[in-house]
Amino acid sequence: MRCSFLVFFVLSCVLCGCGPNAIDPLADNPTIQPAPPAKAENFATTTVINSRIKKAGGKQFGEDNREVIVTWRNTGPVAIRAVDAVITLFDSSGEVCDEFDYTIYAVGDSSPGIAPGKVYTDPKGEGFALPSDYGTPHRERPKKVKVRITLAEEHAGF
């Protein structure tokens, strides 16, 4: 029974053209043309202008904690309401000591967002808070940060 099912399956694939020797319908019929790629006219893009590690503001961070402050520009044609980034921290020898995927900006869809051409800087106390064990005897405080934006969206979805 199993063998007959396998034979039926293989023959079906060969006859319907979905096997490894399938025929390309575009090659046989020159009048059928593939659809052109969609034009991406309204896409959100950003550029990081600056990123730095600063003493964190606000009591929620503690006395000696640090935060990453990012300044970025909307370089696209639409308002931006959500930005994700990879934040890479480096120690004093220039080695990577940590890396985080983080949403550096998000507002609701009813917000105006950041308009095309405008610059946004995290307000003090609203940057990416570094883990509290940095600067302790067992973990050196990072000396440098690099931020790479991975996603910028016109709609935040909330």
Q: Give the structural domain span for 113.
A: 46-153
The answer to whether residue 78 is domain-embedded is yes
What is the pLDDT tens value at each position of the chain, 158 positions in all? 444 544 444 445 544 555 554 454 444 545 545 555 444 445 778 899 999 999 886 555 556 788 999 999 999 999 999 999 999 999 889 999 999 999 999 999 999 999 999 999 999 889 999 887 777 777 888 999 999 999 999 987 77
The answer to whether residue 23 is domain-embedded is no
The answer to whether residue 111 is domain-embedded is yes
The span from the first CA to the last CA of the chain, in angstroms, equals 54
CATH number, domain of 119, equals 2.60.40
Domain count, the chain: 1
The answer to whether residue 84 is domain-embedded is yes
Phi, psi of 74, deg, nearest 5: -80, 110
Collect all residues with Cβ–Cβ distance below 8 Å to 147 and sequence separation of at least 6: 48, 51, 68, 70, 85, 86, 87, 88, 104
The answer to whether residue 34 is domain-embedded is no
The total number of residues shown for the chain amounts to 158
CA distance 119 to 105: 12
Kindly report the pTM of this predicted structure.
0.68
pLDDT, residue 25, reads 47
The answer to whether residue 20 is domain-embedded is no
